[in-house]
Amino acid sequence: MDKGYLLLLPIVLMCDVMSAQVKTENKTLMVNGKSGRTTVVQFNSRTYVELESLVRIANGALGFQGDEITLTLPGTETSTPAVTPEPLRPVNQAGLTQNFMITGIEAIAVMREWASTMANTIQHGYGVTDSWVADYRAKAANSLRQAGASASTDSDRNALQLLTNEFQSVDSWSNELVEAKKNMDTAKYATSSDALRNEPLSQKIINCARFLGTMLGSAEFKDDPSCH
């Protein structure tokens, strides 16, 4: 049979008995909303349509390779619904990255340990040496560098500046206490548990540390005068 007239039915016109069971008509075929005239064959309660007519009406494609026939039909509009793209979410310009939040909180913890240890040592009259203080300073500086390495956005870098300001405040306060200890000027701190805590620089450090902890916990950059 010619490929140009391929039929999806057995060859049933080989004898008079079988030909009596075959009914051939020209009808309009509707495929995917498109229509066209084609030959329709009814045989034993089944309906067969010329394959090339089906392809032509449906704007499809037909291919032959050896004993294999490839039929490609375009999908209907309902079978491939259009995907509506999700609206772009506004980028939170004030957001802090997770890596920076983790390293920033760690830096605050190290600076808090440095400051609280200094306060406890001075208040109870324990000995303070430059090398002892240098060890705490080095730990805090290393923690601050790690926070700096994890800063990847403008918000991270703005928050890093506040952490740096806090480090400088703790460092200045620590140096003042070391000098006071050398000059034997720390007795005033032993008279009251709040004497050291209520000093302006000490209050500044405490307030900034609290603010930084809250800011990093909220994952959103904010500013506060206590950290300047």
Same domain, 55 and 103: no
Q: Are 219 and 96 in contact (CB under 8 A)?
A: yes
Task: Verify that 130 and 52 share a domain, yes or no.
Answer: no
Domain that holds residue 10: 3-72
Q: Which of the listed residues 72, 88, 122 is the one where a domain comes to its end?
A: 72
Contact between residue 52 and residue 6 where contact means Cβ atoms under 8 Å apart: yes
C-alpha distance from residue 36 to each of 53, 57, 168 (Å): 8, 6, 84
Q: The tokens 């790690």 sit on which residue?
A: 146
Let me know if 139 is exposed, middle or buried by CB neighbors in 10 A (0-12, 13-18, 19+): middle
Do residues 121 and 223 share a domain?
A: yes
Residue among 122, 105, 118 nearest 184 (CA):
122
Structure tokens at 148: 């700096």
Residues comprising the chain, all counted: 228
Dist CA 76 CA 69 (whole Å):
22
Within this chain, do residues 223 and 141 fall inside the same structural domain, yes or no? Answer: yes
- Per residue in 159-183, pLDDT (tens digit) is 999 999 999 999 999 999 888 888 8
Instruction: Say if residue 75's pLDDT is above 60.
Output: no
Residues 223 and 120 in one domain: yes
220/32: higher pLDDT = 220
Are 43 and 12 within 8 A, CB to CB? yes
Cα–Cα–Cα angle for 215, 216, 222, rounded to 5 degrees: 35
Q: Within a 13 Å sphere around the CA of 106, how many CA atoms are in the beta-carbon half?
A: 16
Judged on CB neighbours under 10 Å (0-12, 13-18, 19+), 155 is buried
Residue 154 falls inside a structural domain: yes
Number of domains in the chain: 2
User: Is the domain of 103 the same as that of 187?
Assistant: yes
Question: Hey, what amino acid is at 207?
Answer: N
Percent of the chain residues past pLDDT 90, beyond the cut: 40
What does the alpha-carbon distance between residue 87 and residue 72 come to, in Å, rounded to a whole number? 34
Bigger pLDDT: 57 vs 92: 57
**pLDDT tens string 193-214:** 678 888 899 999 999 999 999 9
Q: Which token pair is 116?
A: 């609280």
pTM of the model: 0.59
User: What average pLDDT is seen over the chain?
Assistant: 77
Interatomic CA distance for residues 47 and 10, integer angstroms: 12
Is the per-residue pLDDT at 8 higher than 60? no
Asked if residue 25 and residue 135 are part of one domain, the reply reads no
